[in-house]
Amino acid sequence: MAEVPTNAPEHCPGTGSEGAGQASACQGCPNQVLCAQPKAKDPAIVQIKERLSTVKHKVLVLSGKGGVGKSTFSAHLAHGLASDSQKQIAVLDVDICGPSIPRIMGLEGEQVHQSGSGWSPVYVSDNLAVMSVGFLLAGPEDAVIWRGPKKNGMIKQFLRDVDWGEIDYLVIDTPPGTSDEHLSVVQYLSETNVDGAVLLTTPQEVSLMDVRKEINFCHKVKLPIIGLVENMSGFVCPSCTKSSEIFAPTTGGGEKMAQETCIPFLGKLPLDPRIGKCCDEGKSFLEEVPDSPATLAFSQIVQKITEHCTKAAVNRSEETGEKMDTS
């Protein structure tokens, strides 16, 4: 994986590429001498590849901006995938400083247990497992005050030491931005055939600006983009189910941006106040309010993501000549 330093020039080839320190963009870069030196592969990358060999599909959820509903989407993507009782689903929460997944999935107060095969995730149901730093804290109000290296070490430990078992989909919830945690996740997963990233935005331009940065990040680190979801797209009245616009898309919203940047647009998710209520209570909105327009929109987006992952698996199988598991 060609990791890109935060202070790199625009066309940086990445520290792990063959042209690191030698490309034209490297001239005058303060990292040029360091990048040109021979690189030793982090042994954790090989260990993580082996650990996640039993995980068929890996999906990252990214958002350039905070507050766009990323963790809520990650949780309900997992719930939607887990609605097929024949599939095993897992959620990895790498939002180290703001781990909200335990509360959203009704697991607050649970603890992680360790066995001879590694850390055991916490289960919401028989086919839905979760791992989060929130399970390692004494209480929900404890703050994680860590510098980058310690956060990166925790992400490495989650990916290398958690005993996921046979998993069909691993959904990875990330913090907002394009910083340490994101670089670490992409680097450690570089040899595990990641299916791609789902990008989340809201209709306002202030959110779209940050998502454009996230798109550039994905291109630089060669992370496939599954598609873009516009969250909080209109408001659904729980009584009459009519939709009204709350955040006006002054520049065309997520759909137009997806067209401009040539990435798939997966759909729009309307606001429904019952979503927030279900998250506070640790329940699945998709199960609690199956007749909401938001539930239908969620289901359609989940279907598009599974179709992408299946197609990606077929392409990998054709490239390697290996038989694909379609079960």
Query: In percent, how much of the chain has pLDDT > 90?
Result: 63
Pairing of strands 265-271, 167-173: unpaired
Tell me if 187 is assigned to some domain. Answer: yes
With beta carbons less than 8 A apart as the criterion, state whether 19 and 36 touch. Answer: no
Mean pLDDT (whole number) for 41-59 = 94
Tokens 């429904």 belong to: 272
Closest CA to 176 of 100, 109, 250, 107: 100
Looking only at the bridges linking them, the beta strands covering 122-125 and 128-132 are: antiparallel
Give residue-wise pLDDT tens across range 81-107: 999 999 999 999 999 998 999 999 999
Q: What is the per-residue pLDDT across 225-252, written as a single tens digit (0 to 9) for each?
A: 999 999 998 887 877 777 777 777 777 7
Does residue 230 sit within a domain?
Answer: yes
The pTM for the full model equals 0.85
- Exposed e or buried b per residue across 140-151, where buried means at least 16 C-beta atoms within 10 angstroms of its C-beta: eeeebeeeeeeb
pLDDT score at 16: 60
**Among all chains, which residue has been given the structure tokens 């781990």?**
99
CA distance 5 to 260: 27
Q: Sort strands 265-271 and 225-236 into parallel, antiparallel or unpaired.
A: parallel
Spacing of C-alpha 80 from chain mean position: 15
What's the start-to-end Cα distance of the chain, in Å? 30
16 domain-assigned: no
Q: Which of 107, 98, 105, 100 is nearest to 78 (CA)?
A: 105
Q: What is the pLDDT of residues 53-72, one digit of tens each?
A: 999 999 999 998 888 999 99
**Residue 77 belongs to domain spanning:** 54-320
The pLDDT of residue 30:
74
What's the domain count of the chain?
A: 1
In this prediction, residue 1 has a pLDDT band, given cuts at 50, 70 and 90, of very low
CATH assignment at residue 153: 3.40.50.300
Residue whose pair of structure tokens reads 């299946």 in the numeric block: 310
